[in-house]
Chains A and B, each alone.
Chain A
Amino acid sequence: MTDKEIVALFWERDEKAIAETKKKYGRYCSAVAGNILNDEQDTEECVNDTMFRLWENIPPERPERLGAFAAKISRRLAIDAYRKTHAERRGGGCVSLVFDELAEVTSDKVSVEKQAELSEIMAAINRFLEGLTKKSRIIFVARYSLCESAGVIAKRLGMTESSVCTSLSRTRSALRAYLKKEGFDL
């Protein structure tokens, strides 16, 4: 089934959309979330949550690239889960809970500003990525968006791991310079 057909199912509120998405992109989402969480059960939960988010967001969204759209949601959810887990480890569940409670007080304003800043950064990063060579871009995105290991990337691209790391280092430097030039306070 094509992405377009699946998205149409979402718009028709046909629950078959979930099954088709999971069938086509479940492993994608699982891989992205797994790279972050490194826990099978948490990853599975994350994928299920992703499907739920898709159901919530389509409509009104009508993504042209459903795989990327879903994978990005998975990444977002996985990171949230990761941060929560690590906050618990640092301060225990109580701290995390307190933090969540206080977040309710400030969350609206912060999120608006935060969202605006995030949008600006996102736009700048997209422009930056546009200017990269394809190979450098793939390495960079695979590492920092898909959270894939340098070893896996190297193997996949037929490079040495050190070459991948060097490429990443160069691109990071270039991104830093670019963002500074764009006026971001780093």
Chain B
Amino acid sequence: MKKDDIFDALGEIDDKFFEEAMEVMDTEKYRNRADISEENSEVVKVDEVTPAAGRSRFPIWAVLSAAAACAAVAFGIWANITGKNPLLPTNAVESEESGESLDTSESSGDSEKSGAEYIGILESDIEECNKILAESSPDTHIMSSRIMDINFDGRDEIVAITNSSYGLAVFSKTKDGIVITGHIGESAETDGIKDLALLNKFDKNGEQYWYYCYNYSGAPFSDTYILAAIWFNGIKYPDGENYYAQNLLSFGTIDYTNSAGADTSPVTKKFYRKGWDNNIFDGSSNIPREDDISREEFKALWEQYDAAPDFEEVDKYGGELIAEYHPDNTTNLYLIGKEKFGGDGYTSYYNALKAIIEIDGEKFSTGISSAVVGMRAPTSYAFSAGSPAQDYLKLYKLDGGYILSFTYQGPELFGYTDTSFYAIVELDGKLTMYDYHLYGMTPNEVNAMHFGSAEYTEAGISWGVMMSDNVNVNGNTISDNENFIFYTFDFDNIKKAMTDIQNYKFGYDFTATDDGSAFVDDDSVFADALPE
């Protein structure tokens, strides 16, 4: 094929594309049409020149552009109308048409910012983002966030993972302040998201998309991992941008009872499927679903996403983001923020467990947990907001990975210590971030929670963390919060450890990395909390 052929073909494209471009390029140079008399603006917003036929074909778009919160619904409707799945690999599903939507507009060219700039932007902006969210939905707050160029326009946005059906919110910074410019909803229930991995990129036909892998756990699902992609349609509306999230692939386990048969014993089934729709699992008659696919077929689909977590690893252990590995070894801690919420007659200080860390050039954003660390009542008493979280911030460089921990002591009234842990682990040459949050509990509750079911349904990893304060460990009572003991497992044995967790065992050694004085190697400590 010669270039002339392509060139000629481009002159013979469908009239509608020709007309679409001509409408936009409708400058004086092009026009002499008597039926056009309005002022010809210098700059055209693409959405303003949408052919009327196009708008009437999908009237829901116009509505949704004004109500960005419904973007996920829009996508679902759009997908139903067109029957297209714009992000699945073209050879992933035979029935899929070539409907890839490729946002090829503008690239990042000036998005490289120094770490110092990131601190400045995030520190002020996250607080502002939280305020904005709280104004629109009081119960919504940001779980974690990340600065990234989500629409590839060369400027960073703040992408915030929220705790509600808001899903992911996109904030942009303008000269007038921070504004929500988009939402990324889910086609599945966002309320069920209990853990959300960081965003990552993948390439498709030379174009880059963002995707993330999140964990969902809610009856009847024991544990489910979903790979979802974010699709920006390239159209900027005056009130925001349209982002869509599409669940691409999912796998996990489901517990169900075959009520139709004689044996009604619960059955746990592992499933692999394209997309994700938990609503389908509303009864035993639908299990297994007809569109469930084999593990091998699923694996083949999964692996088409170049940057997706290694399937074998994820399938075996459960997992989240596998970040790109960078050979150089720089580590920076960027930020610890604080949050303050008010209510009737009181002000609550929430923890400030928020950090952006950069490891080997890759930035990781930790979550914000929501535990109260202090309360100030207006009349009767006031007390400390607890020890500043940053006093207990520690980043450990270990062989094979990093451990980042936030710990603070809650106010005396509440009598608890709260900690969040993040592990960034090197597995097969890639860095993986796991997080785990412990929300305002007594130390014993922390133990119970941490070594109970939670760690199994989270990222499938255990930190070997014990919170101090009158906890008996190997016959020794640990009573001083300052003697917070941070245990971690031997990273060389991480795969074994993860396997053991899957099997509800803790057969690995704990090694104290904080002060070197403590060592725990006794499963009985955790026995009560372990699932049967």
A23-B32, A138-B46, A163-B154 known; A129 vs B105 contact (CB < 8 Å): no
Question: In the complex the two chains form, is B27's CB within 8 Å of A24's CB?
Answer: no
Question: In the complex the two chains form, is A142's CB within 8 Å of B21's CB?
Answer: yes
Per a CB cutoff under 8 Å, which of A134, A152, A157, A173 touches B20?
A134
Interface 1/0s, chain B 60-84, versus A by CB < 8 A?
Answer: 0000000000000000000000000
Q: Shortest Cβ distance from A186 into chain B, in angstroms?
A: 6
The total of chain A residues at the interface (CB under 8 A) is 68
Per a CB cutoff under 8 Å, which of B12, B154, B234, B235 touches A118?
B12
Q: Shortest Cβ distance from B317 into chain A, in angstroms?
A: 33
Chain B positions within 8 Å of A72 at CB level: 11-12, 15, 18
Assess whether A48 is interfacial by the CB under 8 Å rule. no
Question: In the complex the two chains form, is A28's CB within 8 Å of B102's CB?
Answer: no
Distance in angstroms between the alpha carbons of A170 and B10 in the assembled complex: 17
A27-B32, A171-B104, A186-B1 known; A141 vs B17 contact (CB < 8 Å): yes
Question: In the complex the two chains form, is A118's CB within 8 Å of B17's CB?
Answer: no
Question: In the complex the two chains form, is A163's CB within 8 Å of B24's CB?
Answer: no
Distance in angstroms between the alpha carbons of A126 and B35 in the assembled complex: 29
- Most A-side CB within 10 Å, residue of B1, B14, B22: B22
Assess whether A65 is interfacial by the CB under 8 Å rule. yes
Q: Mark out the residues of chain A between 108 and 139 whose CB falls within 8 Å of any chain B CB in the assembled complex.
A: 117-118, 121-122, 125-139
18 cross-chain CB contacts under 8 A? A24-B32, A27-B31, A65-B16, A67-B22, A75-B11, A118-B5, A130-B98, A130-B99, A133-B102, A133-B232, A134-B50, A135-B46, A141-B18, A145-B17, A166-B109, A167-B105, A171-B104, A173-B206
Distance in angstroms between the alpha carbons of A76 and B21 in the assembled complex: 17
State which of B37-45, B219-227, B284-292 sits at the interface with chain A.
B37-45
- Most A-side CB within 10 Å, residue of B15, B27, B106, B234: B106
Known: A71-B22, A171-B102. 13 other contacts (CB 8 A): A24-B34, A27-B33, A65-B15, A76-B8, A121-B9, A127-B98, A135-B46, A148-B25, A157-B24, A159-B106, A163-B106, A173-B205, A184-B1
Question: In the complex the two chains form, is A136's CB within 8 Å of B13's CB?
Answer: no
Distance in angstroms between the alpha carbons of A153 and B24 in the assembled complex: 9
Assess whether A144 is interfacial by the CB under 8 Å rule. yes
Question: In the complex the two chains form, is B32's CB within 8 Å of A135's CB?
Answer: no
Q: Shortest Cβ distance from A71 into chain B, in angstroms?
A: 6
Chain B positions within 8 Å of A19 at CB level: none
Question: In the complex the two chains form, is A157's CB within 8 Å of B43's CB?
Answer: yes
A72-B11, A145-B11 known; A134 vs B234 contact (CB < 8 Å): yes
Distance in angstroms between the alpha carbons of A76 and B421 in the assembled complex: 65
Distance in angstroms between the alpha carbons of A144 and B18 in the assembled complex: 10
Assess whether B19 is interfacial by the CB under 8 Å rule. yes
Assess whether B90 is interfacial by the CB under 8 Å rule. yes
Per a CB cutoff under 8 Å, which of A34, A126, A153 touches B25?
A153
Question: In the complex the two chains form, is B101's CB within 8 Å of A132's CB?
Answer: yes
Question: In the complex the two chains form, is B7's CB within 8 Å of A131's CB?
Answer: no
Assess whether A90 is interfacial by the CB under 8 Å rule. no
Q: Shortest Cβ distance from B440 into chain A, in angstroms?
A: 45
Q: Which residue of A lies closest to B103 (CB)?
A: A133
Assess whether B259 is interfacial by the CB under 8 Å rule. no
Chain B positions within 8 Å of A181 at CB level: 90
Q: Which residue of B lies closest to A26 (CB)?
A: B32
Question: Which residue numbers of A lie inside 8 Å of B, CB to CB?
Answer: 23-28, 31, 34, 63-65, 67-69, 71-72, 75-76, 79, 117-118, 121-122, 125-142, 144-146, 148, 152-153, 155-159, 162-163, 166-167, 170-171, 173-174, 176-179, 181, 184-186
Chain A positions within 8 Å of B99 at CB level: 130-131
Chain A positions within 8 Å of B154 at CB level: 163
Interface 1/0s, chain B 218-259, versus A by CB < 8 A?
Answer: 000000000000001111000000000000000000000000
Per a CB cutoff under 8 Å, which of A28, A121, A133, A170 touches B22?
A28
Assess whether B360 is interfacial by the CB under 8 Å rule. no
Question: In the complex the two chains form, is B107's CB within 8 Å of A28's CB?
Answer: no
Q: Mark out the residues of chain B between 248 and 277 whose CB falls within 8 Å of any chain A CB in the assembled complex.
A: none
Distance in angstroms between the alpha carbons of A140 and B45 in the assembled complex: 16
Question: In the complex the two chains form, is B104's CB within 8 Å of A170's CB?
Answer: yes
Distance in angstroms between the alpha carbons of A126 and B101 in the assembled complex: 13
Distance in angstroms between the alpha carbons of A19 and B201 in the assembled complex: 54
Question: In the complex the two chains form, is A185's CB within 8 Å of B100's CB?
Answer: no
Distance in angstroms between the alpha carbons of A150 and B7 in the assembled complex: 17
Q: Shortest Cβ distance from A124 into chain B, in angstroms?
A: 8
Distance in angstroms between the alpha carbons of A162 and B25 in the assembled complex: 18
Assess whether B401 is interfacial by the CB under 8 Å rule. no
Chain B positions within 8 Å of A63 at CB level: 15
Assess whether B175 is interfacial by the CB under 8 Å rule. no
Question: In the complex the two chains form, is B206's CB within 8 Å of A68's CB?
Answer: no
Question: In the complex the two chains form, is A136's CB within 8 Å of B234's CB?
Answer: yes
